Amino acid sequence: MNIYESGNDSSDPVSRTVGGGPAGAGPPPSSRQSKEWDRETLREHLTNLRRQVRRDRCALQEGFRLALEAFPGVQVTVAADARDAAGIISSAAGEGGIVSVNNSSVVINELQRPMETLGLKIYRRYAGIR
């Protein structure tokens, strides 16, 4: 099943979305089809996809959480803000206090400072310990 298939025909929004993207979103054009899509058609497709994701956001989040928690030992935790997230990360890091992170802008711009404030040592892959 690819991310654009809805999984089943259930009217339950969670089961509709667990196996893929928003129900009814359909796949983007393949490279062969994209030659046939003009800029406006593609823009409309992306606008509709964004609307469907916004409309089904709660169901998509719940489906994502259920999919993650299907793996043994995985527990999904939600943070209210970056400071709350840093506290959760600090608890998970334990006494070692070293956290391995990727170089995403969210980590760098929002989480790095709160984690450093809590005394965590941040290991940025490909960059070393900061």
- Mean pLDDT value across the chain: 78
**pLDDT for the residue numbered 127:** 67
Closest CA to 59 of 9, 2, 17: 17
**pLDDT for the residue numbered 21:** 53
Domain-wise residue ranges, the chain:
13-69, 82-129
Instruction: Average the pLDDT over 59-85 and give the result.
Output: 92
**pLDDT for the residue numbered 104:** 82
d(CA 101, CA 85) in angstroms, rounded, equals 13
Amino acid found at 83: R
- 95-123: per-residue pLDDT in tens? 888 998 888 888 888 999 999 999 999 88
Question: What stretches of the chain show up as alpha helix (H) in DSSP?
Answer: 13-17, 31-34, 39-55, 57-69, 82-93, 105-106, 112-117
For the whole model, what pTM was predicted?
0.55
